[in-house]
Amino acid sequence: MDSFVEQLKRGTEEEFTEESAWDGSAVNTTSSSLPAIYLPLLPRYLRHPTTRGRKATEFQETKKACLNYIQDALLQHQWQRAAEFMTNYLETLENTSAEKRMAAPEVIWRIGTEILCHHSKSTIEEFNYFAERMKNLGVKRYLKVCLEHVFYLLCNGLIDEAYQNLSLAEGWRYGEQTTAQDKELKLIQAYKGLLDYYNWAKKRKAMLELDGNFADSVEQEMHSFFRQAAVNLKEIIKIPGVWDPFVKCYVDLLEFYEDYEEVRQVLSEYAYNSKFPPNPNAHVYYYQFLKRQGESKKTLMSVLKILHEIVPSHELMLEYNALLQKSKKRKNHRLGLEIIFTLLDFAGWKEHVKAWSCLAKQIKQILENSGKHLDWITEEWNSRKDWWPAFHFSHYLAKRNWQENESLACEKALVAGILLGKDCKYFKYVSHQGCKAKKEKFQTMKKFVKKHSSAHLRASGVLDSCTHL
Amino acid sequence: MAATLRLRRLLVFDPLTPCTRRPPRPARPRPPGLGAAAQCRPGAGQPQENFIPLRRTKGESWAPAEACAVPFLPPNASCRVPTLTPHDILYVGQIQRKHQASKTGGAALDFTGQLARFFLDHPEEAFGAMGRLLQENFYLGEARLRSKARENAISVKTLVQELGRRAGRRHCPQLQPSPRLRRFSCLSRDWLFEVPLGLLAECIHEDLALQWAKLLFDDAPTGGALAWLPTNDVAPAPRGCLVYPGGEAMNLLCFQEVALEQVAGALQPRAHGRPAQFELSGRVRQVAAAQVAGEALVGVRSDHHCGAWRLQTGTAPVPLQVIRTDAPASCLTVSPHLPGELSVCTLSGAVYLWNVETGLQRLRQDPETAFFREASPWRWSEFTSHPRVLSCADRTGLQCLDVRAPASRPFDLFKVGGEAECQRGERVMLPMYLGRAHPCQHLVATQFSVYVLDERFPRVPMLRWEHMLEAPPICAHLTPGRSQETSHKVLLGAHRTQELLLLQYTGGSHSACQLAGPPRRLHPISQGLQHLPPQATPWQGLLHQRLAAPAAGVTAAPAGQGPLEPLLVFQLSEAGDLFYQTLLHEPPAESESSAAPTSPASLPVPAAAGQPSPAWGASLGSGSEESGRLPGTVSEGTADAGQAAAPEEARPSGGLAAAARYGCWLKALLRDWSRLPEQSQPQAPHTISHQRLFTRGELSQPAGDSPLYRQARQLLCRAMRERACLAPWALGLPPTPLAMPHPMEPWAWPDDLSKRLTASWAGGWGEWWEEKLGVTRTHKLHALRDRRRRLKQARSRRSLFGSFTSSVTYQSDLSDFSACSQPPSEPPGRAEELQPPAPVCRQDLSPPRAGRGHRPPAPGQVWPASPLASSSQRSEQAAWGSQDTEDSSQLLSSQTLSSRGIPKERRKTLRDYLAIFTQPCPEPPAELPASQTSSLGSQRWGASSQSQRSTGSQPPRKRPRMGF
């Protein structure tokens, strides 16, 4: 990687020697002491007279100007104008510079697709026609164009055409080009598998609705769809990557045929194989599958534990916390408290009522339980006491929470009162407002806080930081 | 490895997406903005065929209301140092020898010019000591030296005279150095200079190379030096505070209170009161701001100092603390979670957490980059959804660092490489935390693309979009959508090119990220030039310089609480000028209007010379009538520049007010310039005395009696006094009607060319041509041959079709093709029966290939270089009939193969392969490759006869070209 600059430099040098015209399109500012940033385009204001290389021919200049106009039109959403320029730009396929001629089909494909997607008068037929032409303009990106075409069809609801296109593309062979586009081919097969899965699902629905007479033939068809889909989907899932929809479909297929072992294997591979990028969804799928299977809580918790390590702010953490609370081990209770504290560290959970009520409930439990595990709270609080007051329990937040969500303010006030003492601004403000509104629960809360905050926590040093506020 | 890496992210789901709904997800990265739309992913937990593209075609449509960015505040009066341009440091002209271009990528730096200037401007520093030493020995007087004095002194009279003669002609390329001067310089080169010449030149060259690198890309202004802090009170108009640098060296920090008011139907920002100003000791590079708990914290970064200010509604800004860094600071961000927290990075690779109460905490000091070696010392850090976790970025990627345990291993958020599908040479240019859109999202901009990342799904971007900006983006601004339906708007700004791009995306919490609609370019500041009246030459140059100064920051202020309220975009230029433009939401227009380019109202010419110049503030109200009187629009300027010559709809109020603002700004600018001390005023172009042009008699001639003469004379005098341009419309001359040429009688010109020109003038060229084709048989024949030749060429390209072994397209194209390939010897009488050739649009799409270096063959002539083309000249029977061995041997001869560009090592394989097809094939279907047979099953065959022929009984003549 670090030799990028060298490579680029060499690339630029080669550009000079080649017959292609030097147009200053790639300049690297390399020097041992200078930051070396590769600039894809030399900005127009920096085009300078150079003494090396050939001057661009008029043809190159015109085509470049044309491309600039097209870009300009595209960025201003003037599709008609872009299309008009485009008809002139097509000549670039005959570009005298070999390098540009090679790049031309792709440029035309991309711009053309963009215009056809947005132009108000373009039709699907035109798009199809264009895509067909583009497929044959250069075999190097045949499958890419096919895939893109299929996506377009799918998004426009033309599932059958898409399927037909996928089948055609799947059978495409072109010597070495086929192997070079292996990953596109894999994708095409996978998408075909996906569509097969949809057909299968349709048949399944039909079969469940029909009973008796035709069910046999429908079932036959369904099985053939199953086979096609399963083969393709299984294939793509083996490659390291993020394949959530494919995995979901494959799991659904297998579960219908009650092949649970395979599902378990696929999902655990998908979640735990280190070659795959860390994917929280994979853990969720595995967890949900195990839950459907009615696995033991221990297994479920072990899955969630790993998820907690990857994404401590995941929504399932509340569920994990609930599981931990239900367990009988003290260690798990401790872990549950830690999880709920960690969850509330994240900005996204700042105003989550359920999370706060969970925390309030657990702290209450600990305190009511004669404060045996007060050190748990102390420990969690120690690492947070320097920033939680400003992050969660400021006067401004008290006002806002009270206005926007009373129950949230109530839960938070309880926690604040216990952790920071009854003198903390948040608790004072909310309890004052609550008492003014004459609500019963605030009285009890106040009493509770008064009883516990002074006696236990101050002694254990939890309340050191309340002087900060 | 790379291949598998790339495949990984075909489909990604938002991790927090509820399982009941599966929004779509990209399959692969899109090409640059120009890319096909799709990348879809299936909808749904319940199998339903609902595919949603990664890039939605339709999105909210936002368009600028004005034709260009409009000045917001009066020009920065004290800015007089022009920014560096390439012309200042580049050598323009011929260089004799091949120069070393490695450092600057082909640019030749004009360091000799700089040296020369240094010697001329600072002779004392350059030659002082030696000059004093030699003073006694150099005689400068006119008179001859007497014998006594000659012992110790030499006369340099002639040398000085010669130098004096050349002083005025220094730039003449033809100037040959005189032998005497050359001898003197050879003699004195080693000892005359205070600093050895070689050393000095080397240093200057090095510095110029540095300047040049900065011209190409400067990372110091990353982040932008403009911030908008809205205040909570919305009535009567939304207000806020604009924080920007100004002053001579951009070292004056200003806090300007601004209200966004509706004036005559258009939204306008209006400054309230004077700005609170703080003079700093360095140039302000970046202004960062965030609002936490009802108060705003503003961080300001200059090269070696960073400062923090606190701003509360209704009170003056309070400076809190200043820190000094040894290495230049490269980044300063303000925490969106905790009041009084900032993060600072320096070019030495250090990352600090800065709490204005407790001070600095160093989190990391690592001169190495995170993922692979990269020379740039640039570092950046942002806050994340966890207030105790910072993201640290360098050019190679982003890592997350825990403040509580800085020594622990950071986790990777983004890495330039295969997983994110980065291109070669791609580097991180600007990371930004998108916490206001979604707590977990981050934006990363590179030279090529922008990525939206999710902390929960590290390393695999949620969105990728190639932004197509000419220069890398260095500042960005997020305007979060107010509800789930409205999109988040991201403004990306480039530095030197002033480009500004608006991107929209949706999703994050309830659905996956999705780009909404195509991106939109907003007006760069320099676009105003096209709409301004021409100025006198030196002013015009300065105005250009001023408006084209690099952009220094961008921010946006929504005009209200509603989701589709107008958006005001503020732009700051490096000259310290503030501009704004209003973005209006366009309701989704139906068919017609979206096809026709809708461009905003053009700006009428603002106050021309001679109008009374109102004070800046007062002009706002009266602007519309004043400029309403002014003649003409400048849309010609845009048309000539190739810009959209689009139909313009009138939006009177906004356009005129904007014009008035621009007029006032221009006046203020010119006034400021004329007050500058002489030497910093623009240099007037060389003038010649009118006495050279006119004789005294001509000048003293009494003017004509007509009032027009008098008026013209007065205007001329005034223009000269004011040093303004004398515009033709100022004279109020009625445009002289052009003499119409005599009507032409087209029939008087019977030749072909004239007829054709006449027809095309009338717009009926196509019909004329067709008629022309039909006139004579020979012409028709010619035309046919011509067309055939094109088809043949097309056919040679269509050899690609040979590869589609099982494609319906292939079959249908073949049928097209065979219908077209009639032999040229066809009797002319049958020509009418020919099927029409490929449709016109098809030819448009792939114009006939003019062979490189080959002249297109004359009609009917065999193209000798291409065996394929020559074989297609045969009759259809021959073309589709059995292939004779002679033909195939010709095909296989190495000359032919090499002429077709097939490398030597592949020729044999090819020959072996092709040899199969020269043998008779008894049962063609059995010979189909496995892939083909397998796909035949799922095939719906199109037109039967052709396909039968090519797959069935006919030898597959096309197939030999497989694999080229």
Q: A455 CA to chain B: closest CA distance, Å?
A: 30
What does the alpha-carbon distance between residue A457 and residue A452 come to, in Å, rounded to a whole number? 7
Q: At A200, is the pLDDT very low, low, confident or very high (cuts 50, 70, 90)?
A: very high
Instruction: Say whether B592 and A246 touch across the interface (CB within 8 A).
Output: no
CB < 8 Å to A31, chain B: 103, 209, 213
Q: Does A17 touch chain B (CB under 8 A)?
A: no
User: Which tens digit of pLDDT belongs to each residue from B240-277?
Assistant: 999 999 988 899 999 999 998 887 667 889 898 899 99
Q: Does A51 touch chain B (CB under 8 A)?
A: yes
Instruction: Say whether A73 and B27 touch across the interface (CB within 8 A).
Output: no
Asked if B831 and B781 touch (Cβ cutoff 8 Å), the reply is yes
Query: Maximum Cα–Cα distance for chain A, whole Å?
Result: 89
**What is the predicted pLDDT for the residue at B252?**
93
Q: B732 CA to chain A: closest CA distance, Å?
A: 36
Among A9, A12, A31, A55, the residue to mutate for chain B (most B Cβ within 10 A)? A31
SS3 of B599-628: the string is ECCCCECCCCCCCCCCCHHHHHHHHHHHHH
Question: Which range, A141-145, B384-388, B526-530, is most confident?
Answer: B384-388
Q: Which of A24, A190, A390 sits opposite B339 (nearest CB)?
A: A390
User: For chain B, what percent of residues have pLDDT higher than 90?
Assistant: 25
Q: How many residues does chain B have?
A: 964
Pick the residue from chain B with its C-alpha nearest to A5.
B425
Segment 191-230 of chain A within 8 Å of chain B by CB: 194-195, 197-198, 201-202
Helix ranges (DSSP H) in B764-859: 765-775, 777-797, 808-820, 840-845
Instruction: Say whether A72 and B595 touch across the interface (CB within 8 A).
Output: no
User: Which tens digit of pLDDT belongs to each residue from A57-66?
Assistant: 888 888 889 9
ipTM of this complex prediction, to 2 decimal places: 0.87
* Mean pLDDT (chain B, rounded): 71
The yes-or-no verdict on residue B321 having pLDDT over 90 is yes
Out of B207-211, B671-675, B828-832, pick the least confident: B828-832
Tell me the two tokens of residue B702.
Answer: 């009494």
Q: Which of A119, A245, A277 sits opposite B8 (nearest CB)?
A: A277
CA dist list (Å): B738 to A265, A464, B634, B734, B761: 86, 92, 21, 12, 21
Q: At B707, is the pLDDT very low, low, confident or very high (cuts 50, 70, 90)?
A: confident
Query: Maximum Cα–Cα distance for chain B, whole Å?
Result: 117
Mean pLDDT value across residues B387-399: 93
DSSP element (H, E) containing A80: helix A79-89
User: Which tens digit of pLDDT belongs to each residue from B439-473?
Assistant: 999 999 999 999 999 999 988 898 888 888 888 99
pTM of the predicted model as reported, rounded to 2 decimal places: 0.73
Pick the residue from chain B with its C-alpha nearest to A97.
B852
Mean pLDDT value across residues B747-756: 81
CB < 8 Å to B446, chain A: none
The yes-or-no verdict on residue B82 having pLDDT over 60 is yes
What does the alpha-carbon distance between residue B763 and residue B196 come to, in Å, rounded to a whole number? 73
The yes-or-no verdict on residue A424 having pLDDT over 50 is yes
Pick left, alpha or beta for residue A73 (phi over 0 → left; psi -120 to 50 → alpha; otherwise beta).
alpha
Q: A368 CA to chain B: closest CA distance, Å?
A: 31
Instruction: Say whether B597 and A80 touch across the interface (CB within 8 A).
Output: yes
What does the alpha-carbon distance between residue B527 and residue B186 come to, in Å, rounded to a whole number? 52
Segment 424-463 of chain A within 8 Å of chain B by CB: none
**What is the predicted pLDDT for the residue at B149?**
74
CB < 8 Å to B47, chain A: 197-198, 201-202, 249, 252
Instruction: Say whether B41 and A245 touch across the interface (CB within 8 A).
Output: yes
SS3 state at B584: strand
Q: B163 CA to chain A: closest CA distance, Å?
A: 30
CB < 8 Å to A109, chain B: 36
Q: At B106, is the pLDDT very low, low, confident or very high (cuts 50, 70, 90)?
A: low
The residue that leads in pLDDT, B13 or B676, is: B676
SS3 of B745-779: the string is CHHHCCCHHHHHHHHHHHCCHHHHHHHHHHHCHHH
Tell me the two tokens of residue A319.
Answer: 């569920």
State how beta strands B380-383 and B389-394 pair.
Answer: antiparallel
DSSP category for residue B657: H
Burial class (CB within 10 angstroms; exposed 0-12, middle 13-18, buried 19+) of B640: exposed
**What is the predicted pLDDT for the residue at B26?**
33
User: Which tens digit of pLDDT belongs to each residue from B832-856?
Assistant: 343 433 333 333 333 333 333 344 3
SS3 of B694-709: the string is CCHHHHHCCCCCCHHH
Q: B735 CA to chain A: closest CA distance, Å?
A: 32
CB < 8 Å to B850, chain A: 94
| H and E: helices and strands count for chain A | 23, 2
B296 has which bridge partners?
Answer: B291, B311
The yes-or-no verdict on residue A30 having pLDDT over 70 is no
Q: Which of B36, B387, B850 sits opposite A152 (nearest CB)?
A: B36
What does the alpha-carbon distance between residue B349 and residue B330 come to, in Å, rounded to a whole number? 9
DSSP category for residue A437: T
Mean pLDDT value across residues B743-759: 78
What does the alpha-carbon distance between residue A323 and residue B518 come to, in Å, rounded to a whole number? 46
Q: Which of B8, B53, B386 sits opposite A155 (nearest CB)?
A: B53
Instruction: Say whether A45 and B849 touch across the interface (CB within 8 A).
Output: no
Pick the residue from chain B with its C-alpha nearest to A68.
B642
Out of B159-168, B255-264, B488-497, B800-809, pick the least confident: B800-809
DSSP string computed for B501-564: EEEEEE-SSSS--EEES--EEEPPGGGGGGGSPP--HHHHHHHHHHHTSPEEEEEEEESSSSTT
The yes-or-no verdict on residue B724 having pLDDT over 70 is yes
The yes-or-no verdict on residue B826 having pLDDT over 70 is no
Q: Does A19 touch chain B (CB under 8 A)?
A: no
DSSP string computed for A299-346: HHHHHHHHHHHH-TT-THHHHHHHHHHHSS-HHHHHHHHHHHHHHHHS
Q: Which of B11, B375, B599 sits opposite A243 (nearest CB)?
A: B11
What does the alpha-carbon distance between residue B191 and residue B129 come to, in Å, rounded to a whole number? 11
Out of A302-316, B175-189, B362-376, B625-639, pick the least confident: B625-639
The closest of B303, B286, B283, B282 to B243, measured between CA atoms, is B286
Q: A245 CA to chain B: closest CA distance, Å?
A: 7
Instruction: Say whether B38 and A397 touch across the interface (CB within 8 A).
Output: no
Which residues contact residue A55 at a Cβ distance below 8 angstroms, ignoring those fewer than 6 apart?
A21
What does the alpha-carbon distance between residue B196 and residue A360 come to, in Å, rounded to a whole number? 77
**What is the predicted pLDDT for the residue at B57?**
82
User: Which tens digit of pLDDT belongs to each residue from B639-668?
Assistant: 333 333 333 333 434 577 788 888 899 889
User: Which tens digit of pLDDT belongs to each residue from A223-240?
Assistant: 899 999 999 999 999 988
Instruction: Say whether B102 and A30 touch across the interface (CB within 8 A).
Output: yes
CB < 8 Å to A315, chain B: 16
What does the alpha-carbon distance between residue B807 and residue A167 come to, in Å, rounded to a whole number? 9
Burial class (CB within 10 angstroms; exposed 0-12, middle 13-18, buried 19+) of B657: buried
Q: A69 CA to chain B: closest CA distance, Å?
A: 8
CB < 8 Å to B497, chain A: 43-45
Segment 268-327 of chain A within 8 Å of chain B by CB: 275-281, 284, 288, 311, 313-315
Q: Which of B86, B518, B804 sits opposite A172 (nearest CB)?
A: B804
CB < 8 Å to B313, chain A: none
A70: amino acid identity, one letter: I
CB < 8 Å to A348, chain B: 385, 438-440
CB < 8 Å to A128, chain B: none
The residue that leads in pLDDT, B364 or B895, is: B364
DSSP category for residue A22: P
Pick the residue from chain A with its C-alpha nearest to B808.
A168
The residue that leads in pLDDT, A153 or B10, is: A153
Instruction: Say whether A280 and B808 touch across the interface (CB within 8 A).
Output: no
Rounded (5°) CA angle B399-B402-B406: 100
User: Which tens digit of pLDDT belongs to each residue from B920-957?
Assistant: 444 444 443 444 433 333 333 333 334 344 333 444 44
The closest of B475, B442, B663 to B556, measured between CA atoms, is B475
A176: amino acid identity, one letter: E
CB < 8 Å to B438, chain A: 348
Which residues contact residue B141 at a Cβ distance below 8 angstroms, ignoring those fewer than 6 apart?
B155, B157
Phi, then psi, of B611 in degrees rounded to 5:
-75, 145
Number of neighbouring beta carbons within 10 Å of residue B437: 24
